A and B are shown apart, each in its own frame.
Chain A
Amino acid sequence: MENFFYNDDDRVTGPEVVTGKATFAAEHQVPGVTYGVLVGSNIANGSISALDTKAAERAPGVLAVISHLNAPPVPGYEPPKEPEKLPAGGKGLQVFSGPEIYFNGQPIVLVIADTFERATYAASLVKAQYQTNKPQTDFTEAGKSVEAVPGARYKDNIRGDAAAYKTAPVTLEAEYIVPVEVHNPMELHAIIARWDADDKVTVYDKTQGVKSTQRSIVSAFKLKEENVQVFAPFVGGGFGSALRTWPHEIAALLGAKKIGRPVKLVLTRNQMFLMVGYRPYTLQKIGLGATTDGKLVGISHQADSITSMYEEFTEGSVNVSKIMYACPNVFTRYHIYPFNVSTPTWMRGPGEATGTFALESALDELSYKLNMDPVELRLLNYAETDPETGKPYSSKFLKEAFELGVEAFGWKQRNPVVGSMKEGQLQVGYGMATGVFGAYRGVAKAVARIYADGSLVVQSAVSDSGPGTATAMVQVAASVMNMPKDKISFELGDASMPPGPTQGGSATTSTLGSAVFAVCTSLQEKMAALAVKNAVFYANELDEIKPSDFIFEDGFIVLASDKSKKISYTELLKQNKVNQLEATEESRPDGKMKDYVAYSYSVHFVKVLVNPATGMVTVDKVVIAGDAGKIISPKTAESQMIGGAVGGIGMALMEEGIIDNRYGRWVNNNFADYHVPVHADVPPIQAIFVNKPDPLLNPIGAKGMGEIALIGFAAAVANAVYHATGKRVRDLPITPDKLI
């Protein structure tokens, strides 16, 4: 299949978004809707000893005040099978199921009233008393007074000799800290829940996966799948925070059940820090050993990370050290420690972004010890096959990405001497780092219908939280069907459509694009089957025409051997008196990848300006070169890379969630104190793609992109800051106080 993709790929959601007509979770007009507001606990550890809700119940407009004392049961909340063990990830907090408090801000009461203002006021009247235990939120106690969660998955991983790095001629040992960072999509997490019958519910929800939300509700309330309707036509960002179903969603469902009316529940920005996940604090210890000419002899990478008191959470922070470089000896260890915090969750570039900050900073430190260009050091240790398995890559164009990036950025103008480059009074630094993330393909189903008016509608039950999934899928459909994209629409955000993947892990385009490819191909076969009988293709009756004799060109079925013989899709349907043709296909990974591995790669080049007096860092120039396979939708792909860089600027320079350990309580859970980048922090950003298809992963050649855009970026900034100032900041973020 020769793929072509339109370059004028304006987002298909554009007109709705820019006119304010795009409807996000809290914006669906549901008759009789009421307003729910959650009250959080004031302590981080202990239990509720008394709850005074009288004033709230008496307040004007209040319809219900729900807590563990009166909440309807959630049939799917089962007691833990091994109560002494920390439950596995995915169990979640069982909201309103008991008086126990595990973290500060834990939802303890839901107040429902007829208006938002009345619900908010009534919520302020709820008074709780607690039996309080000392909270443990001091992450530096991990491995000291706080013991690691035991389990087989936390065992050491050793390739070759674990201690080899120590005996190398050139060695480096350093510790790196990535603090708590919070997704903070601009849309507040929100849900409208409505029970249509005792066993039937409709929700409008902020979710990165309409099907996964449906499954969660099915399992929590023991309902039939077809009785749980989930809508999410527009999702205002996620970055991972909307990958799972959280307590507030179950709370809204409980509330709606209790009062028999729809409930709208929107988290406050403060609550966005407390109960919908975050990137966990991680302390990493890196050991590197190399020969004097720069060949890596050994890598040691240990990470200590955090989780909640009620659930495990793990991510692949140390995996990058296993797969990034050709190195015979690699030791990795990953431990998690429970604290009085809510459960973390995957945040853009999960694990790898954390791990890469450490590994790619350490590589940079090593490059100075070796007196070697950081790009050269990476090329010298380039992995031609997967270091972990020895398998070949289905595709790897990282070298090409290096070349493109070095050229576009002007890397060769870098004077390698630290502190040698200046612009006026400002110190100039050039830094770079690499990012890697697995390229995946999952299972997806899609339906396609072509109508007699020539329009094509493709559907799958997925969400789009920003990457532009519908735009990319229209591109795939247009490419396969070889028809103008303005005739095509891709519909999503409705759980009753054929099941699609959850939007995460940079796999949506690969997974869903494969399904769209399959369903469009299948639709073509159906069209071809109709066309073989059509008189237009027959010069005489003896001709024998098979479906494979056709090609599809610009909205026409064309006889390959005689291009003058053709019929438009519209005419074909009309002549056959069919209103529409429909195909449904499920696509799953085939066997082609059995003996291969697949990764996407990025190379980040950053120029910073540092004011030596004030310590303020300006990111002045950014180039990201990516190997993400075939680029399906150039404009949205470029935007996604730019967005990753902006997220990376936040991670590198300003984002840090802070808890006051005396109270176990967040102190900066708002947008004034938790800084994310604003316009003034972001320079023009150039995103470049190698844009070569992966031949094996899927039929469309795309790998993934959302994660690699961010992974490695923070290290590139830290490396540039070192180059400018000689100050190596190993604990993010790099705020002015660390540079003066």
Chain B
Amino acid sequence: MRSLFRFLLRNYFVMMFLALEAISFSLIVSLNNYQRVAFVSSSNDIVGTIYERFSHFDDYFSLSRTNARLAAENASLRKQLQLRIQLQEKYPTNRPDTVDAPAYYFTSAKVISNSVNKQFNYISLNKGSRQGIKPDMGIISADGVVGVITNVSPNYSTGLSLLNKRFSIAAKITKNNYSGSLVWDGEHSNTADLNGIPFHVIVNVGDSVVTSANSGIFPEGIMIGTISKWDVEGGTNFFNIKVDLSTNFRTLKYVEVVKNTKQDELKKLETNNVGE
């Protein structure tokens, strides 16, 4: 026993090195399980505060651009509202049923940190559990899909950006409703791959790709991007489709967090099915 101690003491440098590397590796490997490593993430309050301070300062440089974008979004929403009102006037009996409470609620939030240059990019927002943010809520911007929340602290939250190879979303081509899964290609901050679209579908460059209904996280029809390129790989039955993302992740400032009020109900139902 004593010789063991002496051995450990003499080689403590190597032992300590191995121990610390083991800790690091266990952290790297458990990266897949976001909840478990919540404390090593920028959703914690100290980190969030530092990022928020810096982003206040950074904001002044993009005020006019942000304003222009918000004004454009306002205009487009107003147009949609006008359309609704006209429809209502035309068909006054076609009233929405009050039983159908809105399935989705939106909370606006500010991006306090956002990376685009890694293989696994994350995004941090300035709202957290006190503002009703929970894991598994979607993040969208005026231009399109941004990501999904994974960790929350009382005042901050972090999530996977769409520019994260571990994140895939159910997407469909608007024109023909065929759906597949969309994953970032890991190369550019504005392109992604759409997989699982079978051969017989007619695909054109410029077709828009939107979220499909079966994601459960995003409302149906949120813009993701447009098809920029497609080709056929030998030996498979599916297209290789490149999508130009509509969200500009490099200049992202304001986003909305989507809460699906029926998500829990749906999840419960689906797990029941699995159990049988």
Q: Do A and B come from one complex?
A: no
The chain A residues found within 8 Å of chain B, CB to CB, are none
The chain B residues found within 8 Å of chain A, CB to CB, are none
